Amino acid sequence: MTLGRKMLIIFALVLVGFVALVQWRAHQREVSVNAAYPPIGQLLDVDGVTVHAKVQGSGPDLVLIHGASGNMRDFTLDIVDKLTSRYRVILFDRPGLGWTDDLPQHRGAWNNSAASPQEQAALLQKAADQLGVTNPVVLGHSYGGAVALAWGLARPDQTSAIVLVSAVSEVWPGDLGWQYQLTGSTLGSGILIPMITAFLPEKFVETSIASIFAPQPAPEGYSSHIGSDLALRRASMRANAQQVNSLLPHIKRMIPHYDRLTMPVEVVHGSADTIVPMTIHAQVLMTQLPDANLTTLPGIGHMPQHVASDAVLDAIDRATLRAGLR
């Protein structure tokens, strides 16, 4: 056997060993986070897809849809407790995130397709139907705002009102950065994401959360409350990266139909939001919706539901009143 052949065999063995180590370490991390953050609601079977839902309180139906890299726990830090005395609050994990399965056609390590806002809305609407939800007020935060808009477009006569918080609604300039482009690619999905799941340090997670909340600080204990590591599981990272990476074409297709959203729409957006800038999204949206009201939050960043929750609660109450539900 030649030296070159021996080196090739050694390299192949080392590579196989490294891949096995990565997958084992990723699996162990996922087992740990799954045990630490089990479902907090009920698991519904929707056409063979598991949807994680939680229902609390009584009153008009209010659906809450979380943003990218998140799960329903984002709303349970404190805002849900302020709503349940006067609303029946319905929380969902979006497809591929938290404890909701991704849609079958978008699963797999080497599959870089993603559930569109329309597909996500359709799945959550079927789950809502199982829960007896009728004519809800639908709130979406960040990416969840695009899903809330898709919900309203799909069921304009069965959606009482929409509340958009730091919501993605418009075409944005530039790209989303190399991180999303890489993790949203086929090679990134199959090779890079398992390495991130296996080895990403907690310090990176803390830094990422700080940048999302900036210029305000994140609430104490936020990361541990929402189970931020749930988003680092391989399937969840793939779903999130691919959903975000493929969002723009879906937004472009929805924009011409915004004039069909004739229900009351309340929009809440911080002027200091650098993740979803208000001037690109909320202010433009005001020119496209027939019955919308914008609440601008000076100096507030991307997470008003935590750092300016009274403004979000007021917007929900206004939407409910304008829809004639009170």
Helix H or strand E segment including 91: strand 88-92
Per-residue pLDDT of the chain (326 residues; tens, 9 = 90+): 676 676 666 556 665 666 667 788 878 999 999 999 999 999 999 999 999 999 999 999 999 999 999 999 999 998 999 999 999 999 999 999 999 999 999 988 778 889 999 999 999 999 999 999 999 999 999 999 999 999 999 999 999 999 999 999 999 997 766 666 767 677 777 788 888 888 888 888 899 999 999 999 999 999 999 999 999 999 999 999 999 999 999 999 999 999 999 999 999 999 999 999 999 999 999 999 999 999 999 999 999 999 999 999 999 999 999 999 98
Q: How far apart are the first and last CA of the chain?
A: 83
Helix H or strand E segment including 108: none
Does residue 23 form part of some domain?
Answer: no
Does residue 5 form part of some domain?
Answer: no
> What is the distance, to the nearest Å, from the Cα of residue 207 to the centroid of all Cα atoms in its chain?
19
Residue 12, C-beta contacts closer than 8 angstroms, at least 6 positions apart = none
C-alpha–C-alpha distance, residues 1 and 13, integer Å? 16
Asked whether the beta carbons of 297 and 308 are under 8 A apart, the reply is: yes
Does residue 237 form part of some domain?
Answer: yes
Does residue 29 form part of some domain?
Answer: no
Does residue 31 form part of some domain?
Answer: no
Does residue 289 form part of some domain?
Answer: yes
Q: Domain total for the chain?
A: 1
Asked whether the beta carbons of 188 and 182 are under 8 A apart, the reply is: yes
User: Which CATH number does the domain housing residue 298 bear?
Assistant: 3.40.50.1820
C-alpha–C-alpha distance, residues 162 and 243, integer Å? 22
Does residue 156 form part of some domain?
Answer: yes
Does residue 246 form part of some domain?
Answer: yes
> What is the distance, to the nearest Å, from the Cα of residue 140 to the centroid of all Cα atoms in its chain?
9
Range of the domain at 276: 37-322
Sequence-distant contacts of 123-126: CB under 8 A, at least 24 apart:
123/46, 123/49, 123/51, 123/95, 124/51, 124/63, 124/65, 124/92, 124/94, 124/151, 125/151, 125/154, 125/155, 126/46, 126/47
